[in-house]
Amino acid sequence: MWDARKRLLPFNRGPRWVEMRLLPYWIAFGVLTALLLAGLSTASASSHVQPGQYGGGYLQGYVFGYNMWDELVPLGWADISASNELYTFSYSAYGDGSYGFYLPTGTFNVTVEEPGFISQSRMLTVSDGSATTGFNFFLERSNVPVPEFPTQLFAVLMVIAIGGTLLAKRTIRRNRR
């Protein structure tokens, strides 16, 4: 009589001990792990609240850049910093290139940086209760090659590993016949 416990023990079945019923769980584990790692690699927006700072204004705009065909496209996840003698605030643009954040009163140097583009800085004076909209940046290409490492590399490796496992399992089944 067939015993399920013996099938799971590697020393009883040799390399064929991999249970096919567990494969969907391993695939789900691989997909969830890949999504988790891809989520950890995305940029995040953060703000630094200074204690005792009241008043200020809102800054809103878009970050655009010229691609290799000289088309103006929104630059998602560009790094935006606003600094003066006392504070430095760092933010990231949203995926559509838009940004918006509050700044305390004062004069700030607003800088936008994105790999592969020439950074751009502009001065901004923020008064109490002000709202500056349309503070857009248009970045030129720097023509410096940017080393790109695909963030989905882990997912691709998981697909290759799963495909190799399925191929090995198929080969083992054919050899058993």
- Asked if residue 4 has pLDDT above 80, the reply is no
> CA 91, 94, 96, 100: dihedral to nearest 10 degrees?
-60
Per-residue model confidence as pLDDT tens digits over 73-128: 999 899 999 999 988 999 999 999 999 999 999 999 999 999 889 999 999 999 99
Helix H or strand E segment including 175: helix 153-176
- Residue ranges and CATH numbers for the domains of the chain are 57-139 (2.60.40.1120)
For residue 3, how many other CB atoms are within 10 A of its CB?
9
**For the purposes of burial, counting CB atoms within 10 Å of the CB of 78, is it exposed (0-12), middle (13-18) or buried (19 or more)?**
buried
Spatial CA neighbour of 119 closest among 94, 139, 149, 136: 139
User: pLDDT at residue 148 above 70?
Assistant: no
Say which residue, 52 or 119, is predicted with more confidence.
119
Cα separation, 49 vs 47, whole angstroms: 6
Contact 124, 107 (CB under 8 A): yes
pLDDT at res. 21: 62
